[in-house]
Amino acid sequence: MENMDTSRSEELIREHYASLIAAGMRTQNAARHRDRLRFFLHAYLAEEWPRSLDRVDGPIIRDYLGSWFINNVGGSKADLLTHLNTFARFYESLYQAGRISGPEHDEIIAVCAGHDYFMARHDERFAPEPDPWAEFAAGRAMAGAHMFSMLPPGAAPDSGLWVIAKNLERPPAPAILDFSLFLDYLWARPIRLTGAGMIPLPRLRRINQSFTQPERLAPGNAMAHSRRIRWFFNMALALGMARINDGHALQLAPGADAFLDLDQEQKISVLLDGAWNRMRWADLATPENRRVSAWAQEHRDGFAALLADLNPTREWTPDPDPGTGRNEALLARYIMFHEVVQTHILFILRECAILDYGAAPKAENGKERIKSLTITRFGRQVMRLFARRGRRDGMAQQSPLQNLRQTLLSGSPSR
């Protein structure tokens, strides 16, 4: 019910506003009651519970002010009390006009009178939390660790990534909020997939427009053309945060909403670990490039070592000629050879504040060409962590970088 008709509710609000003015209320105060009702209608009700205002019940108001409003708008305790007063006045007037029944009226008025509940919800949301790093450094269990056990298996924040994110200043990471918005959308609205297992175009566009930086999608573009949604789709499945049910619909998995309550450092740790280690890069590639994309992920530890070798203060230009420097030539070849790295992985790393890059306009074959790349200080530390783990965990006698060098500079892996 994505195009809910709000005309009936708007008319109820206009009638209520007129009745307040007729009863002698100052225009400014009456307008505040009107505006609170209109915000509730358009920002919350039309999205979460599509129905007219005279079909609202007590639990809807409790969820709006006790959860959605506190989390999305914030506000003070006084704001909550004024909203409760607005709802009480409005539904009293609907009852007097015969628009709602006695039991419906009594239920809503009882919710609006429960000030203690809403004050406790406000305290719970805005109470100062202990600094997780201070707890960790003092040798105690990391604050908020109980949240990790609520996440699906495999989605707990990586402790090494978390320490780096907590202690090193990092640029804004758009993916943190956008992935939260993606999960929040699934929590409220499971998505029935197409026969090809994709998100339908109307839902795709709605999700894209909710992001902080919507992608430019042509009218006929499907999910394969959205790098961000394709990444979130595959990563949510890989982390166990989403699942496809028997009705072929994508829905949030039990416990995945715990991600929304993590702090920013924990969230970026989940995103980086999920994109680098748990999601299959081949799932982002075109069918003809899936084999070589899987090879690229197998050698990601060498890729991390090469990125960690870059200077955060210098813009790097890819050049595959070994005369420019053996490692830099190797990095250029790795990026240029692997389409999934150019089109998806670098985009993901940029969204996670690891690096920034400039790309030339797409060629006639539709492929992207990277013109320049700059790693952030935060990104270099993360890549150093990944490279160290690759050396520690690798089973081969050669280091990950030596393995990558031998393959790319002596010949190309088979597609």
Q: What are the pLDDT digits (tens) for 157-206?
A: 677 888 888 888 888 899 999 999 999 898 878 999 999 999 999 999 99
Residue 337 in this model has a pLDDT that exceeds 60: yes
pLDDT exceeds cutoff 80 at 409: no
268/171 Cα distance (integer angstroms) = 12
Note the pLDDT of residue 149: 58
How much is the average pLDDT of 129-156?
A: 53
CATH of domain 283-410: 1.10.10
The answer, yes or no, to whether residue 235 has pLDDT greater than 80, is: yes
SS3 252: strand
Q: Which amino acid is at 44?
A: Y
Q: Is the pLDDT of residue 383 over 50?
A: yes
Two structure tokens written together for 240: 């166990």
Check residue 128 and give its pLDDT.
Answer: 60
pLDDT band at 362 (very low <50, low <70, confident <90, very high): low
Query: 257-292 pLDDT, tens per residue?
Result: 888 888 888 899 999 999 999 999 999 998 899 999
The pLDDT of residue 399: 62
The kind and range of the H/E element at 113 are helix 102-113
Confidence grade of residue 117 (pLDDT, cut at 50, 70, 90): confident
Q: Where are the domains of the chain?
A: 7-126, 132-279, 283-410
Percent of the chain with pLDDT over 70: 84
Q: If you average pLDDT over residues 12-34, what whole number do you get? A: 94
The confidence score (pLDDT) of residue 148 equals 54
pLDDT of residue 150: 61
More confident of the two residues 411 and 23? 23
If one compares 51 and 347, the residue with the highest pLDDT of the two is: 347
pLDDT of 72 over the 70 cut? yes
pLDDT tier, 313 (very low <50, low <70, confident <90, very high otherwise): confident
Q: What is the pTM of this model?
A: 0.63
What local confidence, expressed as pLDDT, does residue 146 receive? 46
> Rounded CA gap, 10 and 8, in Å?
5
What pLDDT is stored for residue 411 in this prediction? 53
Tell me the pLDDT band of 4, cut-offs 50, 70 and 90. low
Place of tokens 């969230």: 267
CA atoms of 177 and 351, how far apart (whole Å)? 11
Asked whether the predicted pLDDT for residue 390 surpasses 90, the reply is: no
- Cα–Cα–Cα angle for 276, 282, 287, rounded to 5 degrees: 160
What whole-number distance in Å separates Cα of residue 400 and Cα of residue 205?
A: 40
